[in-house]
Chains A and B, each alone.
Chain A
Amino acid sequence: MKALAALGIDVGSSTCKIVGVDESGELIWHLLEQADPRAEDQVQRFLKAAEQKFGPLKAVPFVATGYGRKLVKDAAKNITEISCHAKGVYHELQKPGTLVDIGGQDSKVIVIGAGGRVVDFAMNDKCAAGTGRFLENTAGRLHVPLEALGKTALSADREETISSTCTVFAESEIISLVAHGVAVEPILKGLHRSLVSRIVAMIRSVGLVSPLMLSGGVARNEAMRKLLEEETGEKVHLPQYPQLMGAYGAALIGLKNG
């Protein structure tokens, strides 16, 4: 087993992840769980698990990121997920590019420069419309399981336009479409399109630097990937562990500063 050289934890709004890296920055261990409302307990559990696997952690640099980063008392440092994502993705890619991260609570577009530096970034505005939650909420209405969202959307042979980007309005649009007997698939495809168009606006506002990468929970959704490619004309790359990029970047920052 390779020796643990740094740990990174990402306390997000829907999931919590921890990542361990070795001397060379390679990802050697990770855990991922649904977020526990008692974040502190969850972090302790994660650290115990790491200790069991690697022995005492005293000398191991430990960096926290994500919304709950300030709750991680043991961390030597806490850094925003923007910088961490950039670092993580850069390490995988080894060159500049643009990262789109669509999370449950917010979405971001980060332009990554040399060395994993953040050149510019944009985040969705306050409402849920530009986030994964927009899909979750509205899809819930259609009784489609979350994992099947993308596939179902892609199986559509047509597409319904969902013009409202406000979650509440979009829901009422969907209800009315369903009431008019429209099938689920074209509605779902329209929903994905609507979210993608918001993301594309963010990409444009910072300016796209190829290649385009996608991370966050929504990265596993194939419809998002496909539509993003359609709308930007760029191939979308996925990191090996799209959900772990924040924690991975945090560990890398720890490694460098450790």
Chain B
Amino acid sequence: MIDLPSRKKVIREFQKKGGKIAAVLPIRYPRELFRAFGFLPVEVWGPPHADVTLGGSHLQSYTCDIVRNAVSFLLSGGLDRTDLILVPHTCDSLQGMGSVLLDFVHPKQKVLTLYHPRGVRKADFDFLTEELKRLCGELSDWTGGEPPPGAFWEAIYREETADRALARLYRDRELLGLSDREFYRIVRSREFLPAEDFIENEKKLARREKRSTSGVPILLSGIVPEPMDLFDEIETMGARVVADDLACGTRRLYKSGHSEDPFVRMAERLFSAPPDPTRGSPISERADHLKNLIRKSGAKGVLIYDVKFCEPELFDVPLLRKKLEAEGTPVNYVEFEMGKILSQQTLTRIEAFIEMIG
């Protein structure tokens, strides 16, 4: 088993070495750019333990919990050790958060934003390249200068290596002898571990025999599986996760780029991710992608597990359901409110679904 340090510890160690910390909201951004500037990106996916009432003083109750919890966490001092906050423009809720931070909350950290385009046309690609340059420019202005050119490439190669390690973890997941919870703890350590540590950890993981195939195989889709107890619950219900379409999981399996221009290369990587509504991918493309994952993994059902009020996900559910069920894969949509514990109702729905497909 791998001993994963806590986020806190990782932050402290990185700072000890003179590094700075960037808190990053979901979903997409160029890790390598931040590393080149000496920042360790530490992602904030609405920590479940935040006190939401604080966020409620800035955002209405119909904002998703990821955003409300993140704002609450910030206001309660949870991000005090960070130097900057990056709020990617992922959806209308994160747009609101970024804007409210910049215009009203004025946290002590520098607030930066990033617009990922919603298409995959040449115009979108070129825009993203320019947008990355802008972000780089803002970082230079703020930190007082660009890093040496070598630093860019070093960071890019390192992140590409880490993403290949992540892809290998997914490929070998059945051979690792890990529970789902352990597996996702390691996958999700990419959210805060320096790439070099992630790469080392992946190397340490021994491949064994294929795990015994008890449990109903399911595909888990959604933004983020919180709280992580979810995996224990799924296991006691007699199922196991054999594939995912999580925004914090395979939706960020980035490939290595080809270009010799660092910005083009970063854009290539971001563009290589699987379909995702927050990138504007057509629904049929998403459905085909999921069918493919189902075929490869042998999943018997798809559990879409999403935080309430997540519009990008909600719009896709009925058609995904229709398209997947037409091919004989049952789909169940369950929404949850981000908190320390899972509600009984949420659990009952999941369990009934597992009984149904089992």
Contacts and interface: CB of A to CB of B under 8 A. Distances in A.
A80 B337 contact: no
A57 interface: no
B352 A80 contact: yes
Contact of B348 (A82, A117, A119, A126): A82
A81 interface: yes
B355 interface: yes
A106 B348 CA distance: 11
B6 interface: no
Contacts of A126: 308, 335, 337, 343, 345
A80 B348 CA distance: 6
A120 to B, nearest CB: 7
B345 A80 contact: no
Interface string B155-182: 0000000000000000000000000000
A80 B351 contact: yes
User: How many B residues are at the interface, by size bracket?
Assistant: 10 to 19
B352 A118 contact: yes
B212 interface: no
A242 B85 CA distance: 56
Nearest to A81: B348
Contacts of A125: 335
Contacts of A120: 330, 356
Interface string A100-125: 00000110000000000111110101
Nearest to A65: B348
Nearest to A68: B344
Interface residues of A, number: 16
Interface in B339-358: 343-345, 348-349, 351-353, 355-356
Nearest to A205: B318
Nearest to A119: B356
A67 interface: yes
Contacts of A117: 356
A177 B56 CA distance: 32
A83 B354 CA distance: 10
A82 B355 CA distance: 9
B322 to A, nearest CB: 11
Given A120-B330, A126-B337, A83 B356 contact: yes
Interface of A: 67, 79-83, 105-106, 117-121, 123, 125-126
Interface of B: 308, 330, 335, 337, 343-345, 348-349, 351-353, 355-356
Sort A-B residue pairs by CB-CB distance and give the 5 closest, nearest first: A82-B352, A118-B356, A80-B352, A83-B355, A80-B351
Given A106-B345, A117-B356, 5 more contacts: A80-B351, A82-B348, A83-B355, A118-B356, A123-B345
17 contacts: A67-B348, A80-B348, A81-B348, A81-B352, A82-B348, A82-B355, A83-B355, A83-B356, A106-B345, A119-B356, A120-B330, A120-B356, A121-B352, A123-B345, A123-B348, A123-B349, A126-B308
